[in-house]
Amino acid sequence: MSVKIRLQRHGKKQKPFYWVVAADARSKRDGKYLEKIGTYNPNTNPATIELNIDSAVKWLHNGAQPTDTARAILSYKGALLKHHLDGGIRKGALTQEQADAKLSAWLDAKAGKVDAKKDGLTKAQADAKAKAFKAEQEVNAKRLAAAAQAEADAIAAATPAVEEEVAEVESTEETPAAEENNETTEA
């Protein structure tokens, strides 16, 4: 019986979520499996991968063959490196302490790269948000300026009409007063 380390699809339509499993090569894609090794969520950026490295290495030692995608996931998490270093320990080229030191140094470097990518994505998202906020402020300022200009134009348009009304009222008020003066002088 040949064993494969492969992905088993879960999740809903257009939102895949995978289990990394060790399964008989003859079983269906989403069928019976021997052991669940981890999970893989490609919907996040960067992809979220949780993997039991010791279990994956145990299956690799027993001859399980990973599929292409599973091999990339195992490589990304360091399971293939640990399998390689264990081969060096069996041959006597390394001690267990040296292999553990190499693996931990590699894992630390990998974690630094992933954190740098997360920080870069967060910074890019914050910059895009700040740029959108600045553009929105400019649009709001233009809108307020246009509203103030329209209000000023409305006041300016209304002011001559008011001045004309005031002039008419003043001219009508002066006319009766002049007639009264004329009447008193005649009498």
Question: Domain extents for the chain?
Answer: 3-94, 114-187
User: What CATH number belongs to 3-94?
Assistant: 3.30.1320.10
pTM value is 0.65
Share above pLDDT 70 across residues of the chain, in percent, rounded to a whole number: 85
Model pLDDT, residue 160? 67
Instruction: Please name which of 13, 86, 81, 15 lies closest in space to residue 51, comparing C-alpha atoms.
Output: 81
3-state secondary structure of 40: strand
**Segment 51-75 mean pLDDT:** 93
How far is residue 34's CA from residue 182's CA, in Å, rounded to a whole number?
Answer: 121
Model pLDDT, residue 180? 57
Decide if pLDDT at 164 tops 90. no
Decide if pLDDT at 155 tops 90. no
Cβ-based burial of 109 (10 A; exposed 0-12, middle 13-18, buried ≥19): exposed
**Cis geometry, peptide bond prior to residue 46 (ω within 30 degrees of 0):** yes
Residue 5 near residue 56, CB atoms below 8 Å: yes
Model pLDDT, residue 50? 94
Model pLDDT, residue 38? 95
Model pLDDT, residue 81? 92
Model pLDDT, residue 125? 87
Model pLDDT, residue 29? 85
pLDDT band at 49 (very low <50, low <70, confident <90, very high): very high
Decide if pLDDT at 179 tops 60. no
Model pLDDT, residue 4? 93
Decide if pLDDT at 5 tops 90. yes
